Structure 1
């Protein structure tokens, strides 16, 4: 289980892998500092996908605005989609 404000039943390795993909994406784009680090952005995205939380709930839980939550999730989904041929494959990742 991944430590979170509420238990999230995804392997820590999955969160770390998504965080690594985000880190590489940010490095390639020379992205400046952000409110959330890559691990937190990966966690935010997986909470949204797994728990179906709204962007308002995510924003409140991660201390960011609703719009920022929407942007972060969208960016992470774009990164996952480019990494794998399908979103399901990206979320199940290498084992």
Structure 2
């Protein structure tokens, strides 16, 4: 296998955030890992952002495929726990003209809540792992929430 250096279009802040999540897992008594948090985070981000296969990522970071999968799964679970969703209720804006001041205020608040989600949906396209998912729907949902958490950390 041929190895190469590549650029990952993510900020250092995102890498630090994910490394911090992984490091926290280590400090609360998790099992020993071959790679430290500073090497696990790039492994996960390369897989999620570039869509490289587990075999490619594992070879690039000098670990086995099952180890790479375990690191990725752990990071997705950790980032998924950081996801702050709006809950199960779906809210819709008031329609029509001549809305009261309170309805206009509610619509404004709704737009502020909806805006980040719509931006996140547009930004999800940059994460190549989502282009051809080969996993169960539950894992896909966790993956999207984890990526959203990382993307929100990336932008701000």
TM-score tier, shorter chain, comes to: 0.7 to 0.9
Q: Which has the higher contact order (CA 8 A, sep 6+)?
A: 2
RMSD of aligned C-alpha atoms?
1.6
Show structure 2 runs of 5+ residues with no match: 85-144
Measured in 2, the distance between the counterparts of 1:76 and 1:18 equals 7
Give me the TM-score of the superposition, normalised by structure 2: 0.54
TM-score (structure 1 length as normaliser): 0.86
Deviation of the 1:87 alpha carbon? 2.6
* 1:90 maps onto 2:89 in alignment: no
CA distance in 2, matches of 1:47, 1:92: 14
For the residue of structure 1 that corresponds to 2:23, the secondary structure is helix
- 1:77 corresponds in structure 2 to 76
Per-residue CA shift, 1:26-66, capped at 9, x if unaligned?
212x1243211102111111100110011100110000001
Q: Which residue of 2 aligns with 1:39?
A: 38
For the pair shown, which has the larger CA radius of gyration, 1 or 2?
2
Any runs of at least 4 consecutive aligned residues in structure 1 with deviations exceeding 3 A, and if so which? none
Q: How many residues align?
A: 91
Residue matched to 2:53? 54
User: Structure 1, unaligned stretches of length 5 or more?
Assistant: none
